Amino acid sequence: MEEVGSDTLKQKRERSPSFPYIDLETAVEHARKLFRDAKLNEVRMADVAASWGMSAKSGSLMRYVAALGQYGLLDATGGGSDRRYKVSASARRIFEDDRPGIKEKFIGEAALTPKVIRDLYLGDNGAPTWGHDRPADSIAESVLKFDLSFTQEAAKRFLSIYDAAVAHVSVQSETESDADAGGVDHAATQDSPEDVGVTPMRGYHPPREEPVASSTSEVGFSEWFRAKVGRDKVVTVSYKGEEEIGPLEIEKLIRMLEAQKLALEE
């Protein structure tokens, strides 16, 4: 009995950082299928499953939905039986904006939306700067295991996800402003995530200047969220705690932001 309990605790401790279950190209294709069937309308999980030819109760379906959310290709609203999903405005630009360079720009942004990919690509939050020239697999896997708490299996899988994502990142994707893409407001209509891992990180642009120094890093805080909300404004959300931020904490944060918005409007 004691050995079983020890194994269970060990499995809990060996949970790897969250990263997309599927590569970026696969995620874009699934977003394209849903956009073909639903456009920008909100649909139920069962409708998403039907569009992708998957079982509504499949564990893979939940992981695919979470991955699209991590890339910023899928938005979610509500909870429980009222949970609804729709293709994001950024994904629509990939599918319908035929101006030169726009499709590539938004795919490049999607590639850097997952936090762990962004951190390693840019060298943020204490991560090494990999960019397009990451170390050899054996060294990269050791970095992931010993510095970022990945399991062996997750480290191997993450490297393929990382490589597929950064292949779509160009210098233009890293530095181009919202105005250069036609004045798109990427901060608009971002919805709260829930247990499937849909994260409101659409439209992240790494700052063109030096990264904003965060005093919270000196007192045990970790950056959880960063988004560009204006031409020269970048917002970061940091947290401190042993457990990851979950749906309840996000709902509280949303309510506080709504209250702040009302105060500013009065």
Per-residue confidence (pLDDT) for residue 236, from 0 to 100 = 74
Per-residue confidence (pLDDT) for residue 150, from 0 to 100 = 97
**Which of these ranges, 15-19, 116-120, 139-143, 169-173, has the smallest mean pLDDT?**
169-173
Sign of CA dihedral 153, 154, 155, 157: positive
Has residue 134 got a pLDDT over 70?
A: yes
What percent of the chain is modeled with pLDDT above 90?
57
Contact predicate 148/127, CB 8 Å: yes
Token output for 155: 């480290």
What are the tens digits of pLDDT across the range 16-62? 999 999 999 999 999 999 999 999 999 999 999 999 999 999 999 99
Own/partner pairs, 99-108, CB within 8 angstroms, 24+ separation: 99/182, 101/172, 102/181, 102/182, 104/168, 104/170, 104/172, 104/173, 105/172, 105/173, 105/176, 105/181, 106/181, 107/24, 107/28, 107/168, 107/173, 108/168, 108/169, 108/170, 108/172, 108/173, 108/174
Per-residue confidence (pLDDT) for residue 2, from 0 to 100 = 44
Q: Which residues contact 251 (CB under 8 A, 6 or more apart)?
A: 192
Has residue 91 got a pLDDT over 90?
A: yes
**Entry pTM:** 0.64
Has residue 219 got a pLDDT over 80?
A: no
**Which of these ranges, 170-184, 191-205, 242-256, has the smallest mean pLDDT?**
191-205
The distance from CA 47 to its chain's CA centroid, rounded to whole angstroms, is: 22
Q: How confident is the model at residue 259 (pLDDT cuts 50, 70, 90)?
A: low
Q: What is the rounded average pLDDT for all residues in the chain?
A: 79
